[in-house]
Amino acid sequence: MNRRTASVLTTGLALALAASLTACGGDDSGKKTDDEAVKGAEPAKSSAEASPSPSASKAGAERPKIELPADLKYNFEWPKTGDKKKDAVMADAEQRIKAVDLAISHQDPEDPAYRFYSEGEAAAGSEDFIKLFTADSDTITGYRHFYKPVVQLNDDGTAGFVYCEDQATAYNKKIKTGKVEKTQPSKNSYVVYNTRLRLDDDRGVWVTEKLISQRGSATCQP
């Protein structure tokens, strides 16, 4: 998936955002935008299995059903922290990632599922990212691996969430022909994401407001 790159954010902005999250073991940020990176954890979980339970985020509005193609698998190495708020942040961030992939598989930049989990700059960035795929009638196949999660709860009620992704085995696939565009793994297969989320009390959902990312991050290299 390395070819897919949405607009690039400056490293300065990335580091400024990261500064608010530094409290936990190291991450910076830098490149892509909102969804310039999308991918997943453990031997593949189904979208239904991945849906957060009411204990993770309080049951509010009915959550969208996310059913993804069988050839797209995820591994989220995001172990529970024991803190209900932090665990809910990670659960809803996972659903946002999958919801963007759902929009790509539907070829619909306005798919309601990802908009349920994002708003503002993050939602706009996701829409642009999805359009990169719809323009070429491409979707995503393969295996997405997410790891090194760092969650910080901020005094203003927002949460900072930094995490890594290994995209080495996630590929673009032509919808019409089924042809998979495989690429060779490289340092750019590893992406760090820096996000900010806000709790929507009415719906009981942690909504992603901002997302920046950087390919080739040393933080995420194996």
Q: 3-class SS at 82?
A: coil
Contacts of 197 (CB under 8 A, 6+ apart): 89, 92, 93, 158, 159, 160, 161, 206, 207, 208, 209
Tell me the average pLDDT across 96-111. Answer: 98
Most confident of 11-15, 92-96, 180-184, 212-216: 92-96
List the domain boundaries for the chain.
Answer: 11-220
CA pair distance 21, 149, nearest whole angstrom: 11
Task: Tell me which architecture the domain covering 11-220 has in CATH.
Answer: Roll (3.10)
- pLDDT tens for 146-194 read 999 999 999 999 999 999 999 999 999 999 999 999 999 999 999 999 9
- For residues 34 and 124, the answer to whether their CB atoms sit within 8 Å is yes
Q: 3-class SS at 193?
A: strand
- pLDDT tens for 53-74 read 334 445 567 899 999 999 999 9
Tell me the average pLDDT across 117-134. Answer: 96
Least confident of 13-17, 123-127, 187-191: 13-17
CA pair distance 76, 78, nearest whole angstrom: 5
Mean pLDDT of the chain: 80
CA pair distance 39, 22, nearest whole angstrom: 24
Q: 3-class SS at 145?
A: strand
Tell me the average pLDDT across 137-149. Answer: 97
User: In this predicted structure, what is the pLDDT of residue 58?
Assistant: 52
- pLDDT tens for 81-102 read 999 999 999 999 999 999 999 9
pLDDT-derived band of residue 200, with 50, 70 and 90 as boundaries? Answer: very high
Tell me the average pLDDT across 128-132. Answer: 96
Q: Helix, strand, coil % (nearest 5) of the chain?
A: 30, 25, 45
User: In this predicted structure, what is the pLDDT of residue 61?
Assistant: 73
User: In this predicted structure, what is the pLDDT of residue 222?
Assistant: 86
